[in-house]
A and B are shown apart, each in its own frame.
Chain A
Amino acid sequence: GAGVSQTPSNKVTEKGKYVELRCDPISGHTALYWYRQSLGQGPEFLIYFQGTGAADDSGLPNDRFFAVRPEGSVSTLKIQRTERGDSAVYLCASSLKGGLEEYFGPGTRLTVT
């Protein structure tokens, strides 16, 4: 079946601009996660949704980062006033419910110039 998909696969933006990254989880998965991965590092947790609500957003680095999942399926990660330090691969994962193995998408590579 279809796995987790993320769009766009690559995004180049200028410093100070706003970007949106989209995640389509596996159908029926209620839990959705966002991670950020910098070069040479493991993924870093950002936020976890159970259904429509953000159950844990403790990993968001600051208030420029925000994520939504209005209908409990597709999620959008939004970054305002992008900075060069935001450049990374943003990974989305879903699981059947929280606490089970996670299935990751291919990621969106964000480059802020």
Chain B
Amino acid sequence: DAKTTQPPSMDCAEGRAANLPCNHSTISGNEYVYWYRQIHSQGPQYIIHGLKNNETNEMASLIITEDRKSSTLILPHATLRDTAVYYCIVTTSGGGADGLTFGKGTHLIIQP
């Protein structure tokens, strides 16, 4: 699976959009971009995934650049409950034979 690079931490004001970047410059054509988050003392939670088109669900939007070398997770109206570590993962599937390879993620802190 391709390696990802994320900033270690970010702050965002409550009610504003939180934009979390991820660099995956070595991504290959059959690899998906997945985002999970982990709230303190809980297990990781699936957020969204995409291959090359932008995706949106009830939790977030995922914007993937045309060359697929980077992506941005957008939480449109951040709340205090969105404070968590966010992991960007590149994988040929959601897990499968290798499981998911987590990095250290971005610690997003929503400020009141």
Q: Which residues of A contact B (CB under 8 A)?
A: 4, 31, 33, 35, 40-46, 48, 55-56, 58-59, 91, 93, 95, 98-107
Give the docked Cα–Cα distance between A42 and B44 (Å). 10
Q: Which residues of B contact A (CB under 8 A)?
A: 34, 41-46, 49, 85, 87, 93-105
Q: Determine if B99 and A42 form an interchain contact, defined as CB atoms under 8 angstroms apart.
A: no
Q: Determine if B42 and A43 form an interchain contact, defined as CB atoms under 8 angstroms apart.
A: no
Q: Determine if A45 and B101 form an interchain contact, defined as CB atoms under 8 angstroms apart.
A: yes
Interface centre among B94, B96, B99, B102 (most CB of A within 10 A): B99
| 20 additional contacts (CB under 8 A) given A42-B102, A99-B94, A102-B94 | A31-B96, A33-B99, A33-B100, A35-B100, A41-B104, A42-B105, A46-B99, A48-B95, A48-B96, A48-B97, A56-B98, A58-B98, A91-B43, A93-B43, A98-B96, A100-B93, A100-B95, A102-B46, A104-B43, A105-B43
- What 6 A-B pairs are tightest by C-beta distance, nearest first? A42-B102, A104-B43, A45-B99, A99-B93, A101-B46, A99-B96
Give the docked Cα–Cα distance between A33 and B44 (Å). 13
Q: Is the interface of B mostly helix, strand, loop or mixed?
A: loop
Question: What would 9 A/B residue contacts be, using CB atoms closer than 8 Å?
Answer: A43-B102, A46-B99, A48-B96, A59-B99, A101-B94, A103-B46, A106-B41, A106-B43, A107-B42
Indicate whether A45 sits within 8 Å of B98 (C-beta atoms), given known contacts A4-B43, A99-B93: yes
Give the docked Cα–Cα distance between A106 and B94 (Å). 19
